[in-house]
Structure 1
Amino acid sequence: MPKVGTVTPILRMFDIAKAREFYLYFLGFAVRFEHRSDDNAPLYLGIAPDECELHLCEHHGAGSPGAHIRAEAVDIAGLHRELTARKYRFNRPGLETTPWRTKEVTVIDPFGNRLTFFEND
């Protein structure tokens, strides 16, 4: 089988301001690019904190709300502390240890998409 590269999830968004507040302020992602085919077209936005790139799109065919993605993280306890310290009023994630011995922090964006950040023990 040929080598397969990274996966870039495309998540549906419905409100640009809420998406920016959640992904940029709360999660600390940075914008990599923004694209519209014209002034009245849906926004297609590339964001990432590090190597974990996500694409957000307003287009109705870009995906269904309620997707769930998992991303490996280093120092999950530190990530949990950072997120908790931001006091984002719409999301206060916990730090969980799963039966298969990973530590996880799960957040839900304003559009119903779930992002689980995990660290293996």
Structure 2
Amino acid sequence: MATVKPILRIFDYAKAIEFYLDWLGFRIDWEHRPEGSPGYLQITREDVTLHLSEHHGDCAPGARVFIDDFAHLTAYHAQLLARQYKHNKPGLDIPFYDPTALEMTVIDPFHNRLTFVERR
């Protein structure tokens, strides 16, 4: 089966690092940041892999990534709140489409949304 790696548009490398690495706990797998050029990087947290791009032609801001079957969402939610990231305080909700699931949506500084879902 093929692997899907969404590309999310970013405008500020430092803000992206603060959000995705420092707060959400992703790590950089690799990056391409030539001097004077926009950056492009791949980040991973467990089995979730994303590409972040400063290149204007790669994608538009405001995307949404649905991350299904995310294990231990309640514990992850508590970790995020404990880190006290001032720009985002996500809640945990039971989604309308599945009363047995939990859902948490975070919005990055570039208006991209990541929705984490755990099936209980």
Post-superposition, which runs of at least 4 consecutive aligned residues in structure 1 deviate over 6 A? none
The Cα offsets for residues 44-79 of structure 1, whole Å up to 9 and x where unpaired, read as 011011111000000001111100001121011011
Are 1:41 and 2:37 counterparts? yes
Corresponding residue for 1:89? Answer: 86
Q: 1:55 aligns with which of 38, 45, 51?
A: 51
Corresponding residue for 1:21? Answer: 18
Unaligned runs of 5+ in 1: none
Unaligned runs of 5+ in 2: none
Corresponding residue for 1:120? Answer: 119
Report the identity percentage: 49
Corresponding residue for 1:9? Answer: 6
- The TM-score normalised by the length of structure 2 is 0.93
Deviation at residue 40 of structure 1 after TM alignment: 1.4
Aligned residue pair count: 117
- The TM-score normalised by the length of structure 1 is 0.93
- Three-state SS of the structure 1 residue aligned to 2:17 is helix
Matched residue type, 2:86: R
Corresponding residue for 1:108? Answer: 107
Corresponding residue for 1:98? Answer: 95
- Three-state SS of the structure 1 residue aligned to 2:48 is coil
